[in-house]
Structure 1
Amino acid sequence: MGESVAGETVGSGSFLPESLLPGKDNFSLFPDSLLPGATTAASGPPATKLEPDNLGYANNSMRLHIDTPVSVHEPTGHENRSSGKMLAAEKIFAADSDKVRRSSTLPVNGKAKGAVAVDPQKQQRDELIMDTNKSSIVSKRSVEKLYYHREPEYFRYFVSKFKRRSPLINRGYWLRMKAIEHGVSRFLAEQTAKRKVVINLGCGYDPLPFLFLGKQPVLCQGATFVDVDYPLLMQNKVGIIQKTEQLKNILSKFTTTGKDAGLLASSDPYVAVGCDLTNIEPMKEILRDHLSLHAKDVAILFVSEVSTAYMEREASQSVFHWSATFEDVRFCLLEQHLPDGSDHPFAATMLAHFEKLRTPLRAVGTMEQMKLRFVAAGYPEAGTEIRSLWELWSDPVFLSAEERRRLDRVEPFDEWEEFALFASHYFLLYAEKEPGRDYTYKPYRASRASLFAGSSKGSIISSPTTCSSPDTPQYHFGPGDILQTHELLEPHNFRRYAASIPPLLTDSSGDSVGLHGGLGTQERLDTCNTYSRFDAVQPIQGPPLRQGLMCHAVTRLGSTANCVLTGGRTSPDKASAEAWLRLDAKWRRVQDLPTGRYRHSAVPLVLPTDPRPAHTVLLFGGRTSDGHVLDEWLIWTGETGWQTVTVQGEERPPARFGATMITDSREGVSGVLVGGMTSAGRVLNDFWHWTLESDMTLICKNVTARATAFLKADAVILGRFGAQLVRSNRGILMIGGITGARMLTRQDEILNMKTLRPQPIQGPRPLFIGHTVMDVDGGLLVLGGGATCFSFGTTWNRSCILNDAQPGEFEMEWRLHSTLEGGKPTAEQSKIFVESPTDAGADSNGHSGSASKLPPPMAIHEMKISHGINFPQYVEAARPVVLRRCQIGTCTTAWTTQYLKEAIGAGRKVAVHAATTQNMDFQNKNFQYITQEFGTFMDAVEHGERLYLRALSQDAPSKNPTCLSEDFPSIAQDFELPRELEYVTQNQHSSPLRISGPVNMWLHYDVMANVYCQVRGRKRLLLFPPSDVSQLGFEAGASSSSVNVFGMSDGKSATTDDAALANTHPQEAVLDPGDILFIPPMWVHTTAPTESLSIAVNVFFRNLSNGYAAGRDVYGNRDLAAYEKGRKDIDKIVKSFDSLPPDVSGFYLERLANEMLEKAKNLSRNASLHSVYAELGGS
């Protein structure tokens, strides 16, 4: 039948041609019994009042439920131009129609023997179902006029006034029409001597027979088309045909019967039947008598486009079963289905729409269930094929790349995610049953010509309905895999395709964030929302744009508070080339992009330039105003503007837009690019790793094969369009978007790029479309998002946080605080700002100040610990994290100097470090080991003496690691790790007590992981990733360095230089009592108290299952066995060259060293891929 569009009133009558409106002289086309004022025994209650069909191209909406805002289609310039004059005319029509009484239950063939009992409720339901025809036929007419220009038009005769639909609705109906055309063409093209009959069940006003008879007469030779629908609707359709010469001329010997129901009209190629499909007995009789359907020389195709969906399951199953009784038969069915259940936001909106219209979908389920229904009806399983319309869209056999591109030339289009959601919720089924065909014969499926010739092996048609592909990964999710959603506090603001802006101060990172631009409930926005977990927050403002913007990018410059906004669009054919820099809290317009673009990918880079690192933006791809898709790489600096980056070699990513990109580390020069869409509208399922070399060229490596080999049949969830990549405590996650093969589900719309395992969600379900995600204190903050759900309305996300905490165990602090307008740009702001070296200062695009040898440290990720946190995932991610305000016992208040002296014993002897300077140096031993009484030590520290206690085992300090409970039992009960860190306790190696005065610990790394628990005082820690070790002055075999990274006045070692320090990537944390810092293995670090006294407990634990060196390891920093063995192997290699001349030995040893260094670099790159994305295996 059809579907009503959100905003249209059920019962609207404007779909009728003007010649058939009440008051015209041909109104007699209605049965005499239905003329104004007439009554019949079959008459029911007065018909639903006919009202204007009021959905134009834009600005139409439907409220889905109380807390869902009014939905709109994005304004594109094609506004609803309905005039008051036309509306007045339609009101007259509506008033006249009140006099009309309608009935869908009429005598068959005029053979009524008396009054027919009518069920008023059924009659009303039937009328509502007939009304769905109105919206769909208007939408198809919009498609016909726009997309089939210069072709014969047939929908026009069934629609009184053209209404241009939105691009999303146009494209959706175009795909529906294409799918039905594909199925019918396949049948008509079959080589057979039999008569062919095409029966369109629930045809509505669809002119399917005329589309084929008028456009492809040769293909239709010997074929008969049968239209079947409710009697009243078919009477109207026959009346239109009778009055339209262009239609009658196609039908040879067209005659009408004058009957109210049953056989209404016929010609050589066409038959019109008025029949209620819930009672098909009359239709059986007509088709048997008039067309001899059960004859041996007949091949039949049943077509049903969203008609049996409105029937009860038993009734529609009877239709399927009856169709399967024919000997040579096909069935082409296009209907809705639920690929991820009724609670998916699109599905919920769709179902609510039909419920509101009082035309609920009676038997909607999954594609597999529908296939089983056809098998149960009598169609062979091997002869029943089914695929979603989204699969068909991406199938190059069903639809060529040029056909898809041609659509974009009709009207601008950028509603790709919404189009995919629509197409994913509709399927095309094609079932066949031919005589003499052995469908149980296994090679049959491989040899026959499939309707879906380009089907992928993972589709439902290529595997039995009772089992899944053996290559499909079988996931078993545990509590640690699941992410829980927690909605933000009221109020909510709705927008999608916005961009996040960092807070104005770096200290506020993770505590507040801005959400800028995007598409709101009424229009594109230029405002910026500020979200925070604190009450007192500085509002965040966007740049002064001339108009609202969406699909733009905002890139934060490293760990600074500065950022760059690039590109975006108003409408899909109006891309912006503007770029804006926020420097020192002020927005300045900088150099424009070479070409305006939107849905591009942008990431921050930190270049190791001299004398200070340079913060830059690397940008790739995007789409331009004319629809051109870009493959260029650009890099921006404040001084040079945008420069093209050359890609080395032949291997390079093809052009795309809507891809997702992220760097390997927060301030690195390498990263990955995933997915995106081609100019032909196909989602790319590829995975690229890129590295920016020192000569400013790019090396790209396609690693798709490794990733897809790991995912096997589930590889389709990797390549996405419109997804977001974000760092988290679980590693980097890819969230949302669409794939090219199927719709993502609640189980797999979040993919862990390190393990390549999906991370399912529980709780209130957001729609990960048009959303923005960022890593904040407490989890992942998901802001904005939503979608226009085809013609059914719009669904909006309520912003939320994703984390490990269960409902009731997480205290929501985040909420929307303010919304600020960006204002319009002044003449001064519109001038292009070119940054000078003095503007950059110490931070390079950061705050002003003197040059520093060490890059500004980035704040270590922070979060509040919560029940259910999966700490092993933090350990596996191998990234430091600060757990704030933890419950570690009474020690934070009880461990005063006096208490400790009494509890431990003031006279107890302890070994301490006595330093001569503030910075202790283990390599140069600028301190002494002395033994003091504990009371004396505590008093000295209180008075600011440079002393440091790292507790040792009391019984065997040179053999056993220290343990707080064994070596300090009198205070051990005061300290405890939170139960969420049970993994640490279970794998504990040692737990040293640390008490220090105003001295800094030397730079070192630990082989074992550890958690540093601050008890009293404040302490500053600097950490460096393992990849920085060669820049920090570590001598061979040493686990400590003499480099003073705090930059104190007592000098630094000559083992490193300024350039080396400039290439490091420091991270910083300041710990208060109750804070815990997780320090992964091999992360170089050092500490400095900010007060005279600092007390901490350090818990070391084993995180590797093997690889530790044999023998004792008192301090937890003995290098791994492989490293110790490797150093011995180096000695052996060097000795093997002893017999050669020194210059020859040096030549080859240097070559070997370079080879090893290159392999180490490759391993580091692979390690980045491993730690950030996946353990894929191979080399």
Structure 2
Amino acid sequence: MPPTKDQIAANNRRKIEKHRRKLAYHDLQVQGTNNSSIMSKRSVEAIYNPVLDPKQKEWIKYFVPKLKRRSPAINRGYWIRMESIKEMVLKIKEKYAASGLPVRVVNLGCGFDTLPFQLLANGPERLEFYDFDYPELVKRKLSVIESSDEILEVIGKSDELSSKHTELGIELATKYYKLVGCDLKDTLRYQKQLELLLKGDKGAPTLFIAEVSLAYMKPQDANPVIEISSKLRNSHFLVLEQIMPSGPKHFFAEKMLHHFNHLRSPLQCVETYSTKDKQRCRFKQYFPQVEINDLFECWREIIHPERKKLVDKVEVFDEWEEFIVFCQHYVVIHATNSNNLFFRDKNVTNVETSYSEKVSVVHRGCEDLELKFPAACEVNHQDILIHGGMWQTRIDELLHIETDTFNKRLVALSEKRPSPRMCHTLTNAENGCFVVCGGRGRPGLVFDDVWIYECSSNSWTSLGSLPVPMYRHSAVCISPGVVLVFGEGQFVKISIENNAVFLLEAIGSVPSLQSCAFVYEASCGTGYIVGGMSDKTEPRINCEVYRFQITENTVTVELVVQATQLARIGCVGMLQNDTLVIAGGAGSQLHSQTTTVMAVDTRLWKIDNVCIDEKTWEKGPVFIGSAVAGNVIVGGGAVCYSFGSAYNSAFEVRFH
């Protein structure tokens, strides 16, 4: 029997109500992201301000009374977010200084952001702030403002609100600050609010800020907000938003998408506008001028070197790869209908791309190996030894992995052994012994000790010290019982037979690098140094490839080629005949399915991309903090901002 009209109507009402509840729930979840974000910003305020801006008052503390300190990587990530936005606001203000007109800053999805109070406290001249967010969240912000004498003092005396102001959701109005409740999906209401608040502009510049707020809206809801905002004269639209330059299967992108989906506040725009080019096309629909930089480019271009030195003093920091990869998934977009742009034009050199047929990458297993920055080497030209590394804490375990099954077992520990560490080296000395040297404990605690592990007796012996403490250094075996260490711009020779550690004389251009790839071919007595970083406060990523050759107590080093494709921190390398393979690390551009691994012909210095097949790429190679054992890249991983950790398993590089 077909349903009656009343039954159909009742069913439709239930569907409408269900949809309404779903939308309301989504809005609440999006508002909830403000809580996590503002707590992280409070951590930055408490830790960074005393060093970078000691005279600056703390404003976020009024919204987050209880401080919860975040990790160094999260702190620096939030700091570069906040600093990039603030610097752009100040640059736009400076551009219009001669006009004498105020700059109206409209923060769309302001949350508990306190930038207005911070800048007004420095002097309110030529700045007006308009904070927009969901009505419920705005009421919470108003309650905090009204209970803080210091905030009330900087925003100035409240104006009496007219009935029209109240009807349009304006909760607070002073000469310099307005607080407005608005669901931005209601574009008609948003337009009316702008017309009321920004009338009679006389060409005054208006800066719209959307710091990860439009990202939670579907493009069909977010783009009309951009379009309406573009209608004003001298309109500037400043967006901080996520992108996925290497696609949704990149390990960071996977963690990021999962995080927001798990919070029931999925990113709605990132798949449609996943790259800089797509974002540029998006904003070009509404603004004639668009410039886009990822946060790592912001770090390099708009943060002054002296300020970077101060940032380095805030807390000990050794998470460069994680920071860079995070930064490359966030862009700052500046779109305007004025002629005022701020970033320098980039001369992008198109590197001719060719693909290697000599090298491939396959997944081998070991998914439960969750270790960052371990040391590893091949044993018996087949199996793998792994020492130390970072799990939940630094460990001192020695693992044996059988490469036919990739099962791992813990080697029984002797009482006398190296302390827990990471960023160290383990080298097969090819005489039944293995050499562990250097590394670090907690950030700032660097080791100089040298240890010998004898496989047959399962025993450790201490063998003196390196000339200086080293971590993120490199080591190779150059002959049975002899290991060459490279770090801090020095070459050190370890002789097990002579029970000696001594510094070698270096001739030529010797770079002082950390986290570089270091490979050696004993049959021809030649090795290569690739990638790495110098100047740890910047950092400067090395794009030069050096060749070194060894005589008895001398190392001769020469620069052989410069290649931007090989400029990467924390890469690993392997050398077979004339083919040099460089894998992973973090560079100026985010690595992808076709650029994570590169193959270099060392006769012609021809550099080819290695395309990782789809099946292997979906296994999530995380070639950061990894180690090489023979032709196997093992271990490694990264904390993906506040989204969780991703770990590498084991991948074999095959030479054809």
Q: Please, what TM-score do these two structures have when normalized by structure 1? A: 0.50
Indicate if the aligned counterparts of 1:600 and 1:657 stay in contact, CA closer than 8 A.
Answer: yes
Question: 1:1041-1060 residue pairs with structure 2 within 5 A?
Answer: none
User: What SS does structure 2 have at the residue aligned with 1:574?
Assistant: coil
1:350 aligns with 2:256: yes
Structure 1: how far apart are the matches of 2:644 and 2:224? 33
User: What SS does structure 1 have at the residue aligned with 2:112?
Assistant: coil
1:643 aligns with 2:502: yes
Question: 1:140-159 residue pairs with structure 2 within 5 A?
Answer: 140-149=41-50, 150=54, 151-159=56-64
Question: 1:316-715 residue pairs with structure 2 within 5 A?
Answer: 316-364=222-270, 365-376=274-285, 378-380=286-288, 383-393=289-299, 395=300, 397-434=301-338, 450-453=341-344, 456-458=346-348, 471-475=350-354, 477=355, 480=357, 483-488=360-365, 492-503=368-379, 508-509=380-381, 511-520=382-391, 522-533=392-403, 544-545=416-417, 547-557=419-429, 559-583=430-454, 585=456, 586-606=459-479, 615-621=481-487, 630-638=488-496, 639=498, 641-648=500-507, 651-653=509-511, 655-665=512-522, 668=525, 670-691=527-548, 694=551, 696-703=553-560, 706-708=561-563, 715=564
1:718 aligns with 2:570: no
Indicate if the aligned counterparts of 2:130 and 2:179 stay in contact, CA closer than 8 A.
Answer: yes
Structure 2: how far apart are the matches of 1:415 and 1:770? 10
Instruction: Judge which range, 542-551 or 159-168, deviates more.
Output: 542-551
Indicate if the aligned counterparts of 1:486 and 1:802 stay in contact, CA closer than 8 A.
Answer: no
User: What SS does structure 1 have at the residue aligned with 2:314?
Assistant: coil
Alpha-carbon deviation of 1:594?
Answer: 3.1
Per-residue CA distance 1:222-276 (angstroms, 9 max, x = gap): 2211100001111111121111011111122224749586111111111111101
Letter paired with 1:417: E
Letter paired with 2:78: Y
Structure 1: how far apart are the matches of 2:236 and 2:131? 16
Indicate if the aligned counterparts of 1:683 and 1:721 stay in contact, CA closer than 8 A.
Answer: no
Alpha-carbon deviation of 1:197?
Answer: 0.6
Indicate if the aligned counterparts of 2:401 and 2:409 stay in contact, CA closer than 8 A.
Answer: no
Alpha-carbon deviation of 1:689?
Answer: 2.7
Selected match of 2:176 from 264, 269, 275: 269
Match of 1:771? 626
Question: 1:9-408 residue pairs with structure 2 within 5 A?
Answer: 119-149=20-50, 150=54, 151-190=56-95, 191=97, 192-215=99-122, 217=123, 220-255=124-159, 257=161, 259=166, 262-292=169-199, 295-364=201-270, 365-376=274-285, 378-380=286-288, 383-393=289-299, 395=300, 397-408=301-312
Unaligned ranges ≥5, structure 1: 1-115, 438-447, 459-468, 607-613, 622-629, 709-714, 805-869, 871-1179
Letter paired with 2:424: H
Question: 1:802-817 residue pairs with structure 2 within 5 A?
Answer: 802-803=653-654
User: What SS does structure 1 have at the residue aligned with 2:585?
Assistant: coil
Indicate if the aligned counterparts of 2:516 and 2:529 stay in contact, CA closer than 8 A.
Answer: no
Structure 1: how far apart are the matches of 2:427 and 2:530? 16
Match of 1:1038? none
User: Percent of aligned positions with the same letter in both sequences?
Assistant: 28
User: What SS does structure 2 have at the residue aligned with 1:591?
Assistant: strand
Alpha-carbon deviation of 1:582?
Answer: 2.7
- Counterparts in 2 of 1:563 and 1:541: CA distance versus 1, 3 Å: farther
Paired residues in the alignment total 615
Alpha-carbon deviation of 1:642?
Answer: 2.9
Structure 2: how far apart are the matches of 1:415 and 1:361? 26
Indicate if the aligned counterparts of 2:216 and 2:268 stay in contact, CA closer than 8 A.
Answer: yes
Q: Please, what TM-score do these two structures have when normalized by structure 2? A: 0.88
Structure 1: how far apart are the matches of 2:529 and 2:280? 40
Per-residue CA distance 1:402-421 (angstroms, 9 max, x = gap): 32232232111112111111
Structure 2: how far apart are the matches of 1:645 and 1:256? 78
Structure 1: how far apart are the matches of 2:475 and 2:68? 40
Letter paired with 1:188: K
Letter paired with 2:399: N
Letter paired with 1:595: V
Letter paired with 1:268: K
Structure 1: how far apart are the matches of 2:305 and 2:579? 36
Question: 1:691-1090 residue pairs with structure 2 within 5 A?
Answer: 691=548, 694=551, 696-703=553-560, 706-708=561-563, 715=564, 717-728=565-576, 731-739=579-587, 741-754=588-601, 755-762=606-613, 763=615, 764-775=619-630, 780-803=631-654, 870=656
Letter paired with 2:180: V
Structure 1: how far apart are the matches of 2:160 and 2:648? 54
Structure 1: how far apart are the matches of 2:507 and 2:359? 41
- Counterparts in 2 of 1:772 and 1:256: CA distance versus 1, 3 Å: farther
Structure 1: how far apart are the matches of 2:526 and 2:423? 25
User: What SS does structure 2 have at the residue aligned with 1:409?
Assistant: helix
Indicate if the aligned counterparts of 2:397 and 2:410 stay in contact, CA closer than 8 A.
Answer: no
Structure 2: how far apart are the matches of 1:401 and 1:298? 33
Structure 1: how far apart are the matches of 2:280 and 2:371? 39
Indicate if the aligned counterparts of 1:391 and 1:742 stay in contact, CA closer than 8 A.
Answer: no
Structure 1: how far apart are the matches of 2:333 and 2:358? 36
Letter paired with 1:189: E
- Counterparts in 2 of 1:418 and 1:410: CA distance versus 1, 3 Å: same
Structure 1: how far apart are the matches of 2:523 and 2:177? 68
Instruction: Judge which range, 142-151 or 538-547, deviates more.
Output: 538-547
- Counterparts in 2 of 1:541 and 1:387: CA distance versus 1, 3 Å: farther
Structure 2: how far apart are the matches of 1:670 and 1:362? 48
Structure 1: how far apart are the matches of 2:27 and 2:190? 17
Letter paired with 1:788: V
User: What SS does structure 1 have at the residue aligned with 2:589?
Assistant: coil
Structure 1: how far apart are the matches of 2:374 and 2:267? 34
Alpha-carbon deviation of 1:766?
Answer: 1.3
Q: Judging by fraction of residues, say which structure has more strand.
A: 2
Indicate if the aligned counterparts of 1:683 and 1:719 stay in contact, CA closer than 8 A.
Answer: no
Indicate if the aligned counterparts of 2:534 and 2:542 stay in contact, CA closer than 8 A.
Answer: no
Alpha-carbon deviation of 1:584?
Answer: 6.3
Letter paired with 1:498: P
